[in-house]
């Protein structure tokens, strides 16, 4: 479960509403991991386990993600690594669809993890508008310190088109397989303003390559449909206290088995075709979210349809510190 929430937070933190960030209510330098998924680093504390979704057709394959590298920085050589666990990939290929003026704009994120030791993790992240012969909008290298269930950002260096444009990068990306290789020829990254570090810049020299043994999700967005979604105090479709928005503002798909959807008030995390996380935040009460899939409350009676990316709820219980239990009924989608 740790890597799922890692990925999920990384994805939607670049979107319109950082729902998990609203749950944490602490410094952006420190995040807490669930024991387990996203990342997917991306960061809560102990989450619920499997859900009771009716869609049980997904059969986890024997999946390996791999990072191969000879990348050097600060006189360190980052290690190549691999994962044989489908839910904790070390390389992530993410497709992101943001709705702008009633149209979805596509962008991409490539992430590579390097476990230096039991206490230190490096993550290299590159963001693109397009992957074909493109210079990334940004490249970020982050150093994390791990301690038990918590993870703390220690250092962060970045180039971006708005500040210190990225240069001297050769990309080779296969959009069908998700395999990607980035070659860096003295790429200059500058320290982020909040980082307390003795150095201001670093150079990346060498290459990094990510591989997947199963191709990423082939995304085809269907036409939108009319839907309803209600929230109620009691497990009854007729006891509604509010109607919620049903149309996605952002969709993201990581590798072949993870997805995250953002609506006006709701955020949903999917893994292996099951609803793993739901977060409801009312506009004027952003520091009092309701959720399932975190701590001890599992997400139950939520069904995901991988053919049209719709999520349907039937008396799905969510809980908040000041609200107690509420129930979701209805569906979300395009």
The residue extents of the domains of the chain are 65-212
Locate tokens 């990316």: which residue?
309
Phi/psi of residue 19, nearest 5 degrees? -65, -40
Phi/psi of residue 99, nearest 5 degrees? -85, 120
**pLDDT tens figures, 294-330:** 777 799 999 999 999 999 999 999 998 777 889 999 9
Phi/psi of residue 87, nearest 5 degrees? -90, -5
Least confident residue range of 4-13, 62-71, 114-123, 315-324? 4-13
What value does the mean pLDDT take over residues 200-227? Answer: 92
In angstroms, how far is CA 240 from the centroid of its own chain? 31
Locate tokens 């967005």: which residue?
221
The pLDDT value given to residue 265:
93
Spatial separation of the C-alpha atoms in residues 43 and 47, rounded to whole Å: 10
Helix (H) or strand (E) holding 250: strand 250-254
What value does the mean pLDDT take over residues 200-204? Answer: 89
Q: How far apart are the first and last CA of the chain?
A: 27
**pLDDT tens figures, 84-107:** 888 889 999 999 999 998 899 999
pLDDT at 30 over 50: no
What value does the mean pLDDT take over residues 174-187? Answer: 93
**pTM of the predicted protein model:** 0.81
What is the DSSP-derived secondary structure letter of residue 79? P
């Amino acid at each position: 479960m740790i890597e799922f929430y890692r990925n999920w937070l990384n994805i939607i933190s670049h979107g319109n509403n950082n729902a998990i960030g609203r749950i944490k209510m602490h410094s952006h330098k420190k995040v807490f991991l669930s024991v387990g998924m996203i990342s997917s680093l991306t960061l809560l504390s102990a989450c619920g386990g499997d859900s009771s979704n009716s869609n049980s057709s997904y059969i986890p394959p024997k999946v390996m993600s791999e990072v191969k590298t000879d990348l050097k920085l600060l006189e360190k050589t980052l290690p190549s690594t691999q994962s044989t666990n489908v839910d904790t990939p070390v390389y992530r290929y993410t497709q992101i669809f943001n709705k702008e003026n009633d149209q979805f704009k596509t962008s991409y994120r490539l992430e590579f993890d390097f476990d230096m030791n039991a206490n230190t993790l490096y993550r290299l992240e590159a963001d693109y508008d397009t992957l074909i012969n493109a210079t990334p909008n940004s490249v970020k290298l982050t150093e994390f310190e791990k301690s038990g269930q918590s993870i703390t950002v220690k250092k962060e260096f970045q180039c971006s088109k708005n500040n210190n444009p990225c240069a001297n990068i050769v990309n080779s990306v296969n959009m069908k397989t998700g395999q990607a290789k980035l070659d860096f020829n003295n790429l200059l990254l500058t320290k982020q303003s909040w980082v307390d570090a003795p150095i201001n810049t670093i150079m990346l020299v060498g290459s990094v390559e990510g591989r997947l043994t199963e191709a990423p999700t082939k995304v085809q967005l269907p036409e939108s449909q009319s839907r309803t979604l209600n929230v109620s105090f009691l497990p009854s479709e007729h006891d509604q206290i509010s109607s919620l928005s049903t149309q996605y503002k952002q969709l993201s798909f990581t590798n072949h088995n993870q997805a995250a959807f953002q609506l006006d008030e709701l955020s949903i995390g999917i893994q292996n075709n099951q609803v793993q996380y739901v977060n409801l935040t009312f506009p004027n009460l952003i520091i009092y979210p309701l959720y399932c899939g975190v701590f001890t409350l599992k997400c139950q009676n939520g069904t995901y349809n991988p053919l049209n990316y719709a999520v349907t709820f039937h008396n799905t219980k969510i809980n908040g510190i000041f609200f107690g239990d509420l129930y979701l009924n209805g569906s979300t989608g395009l």
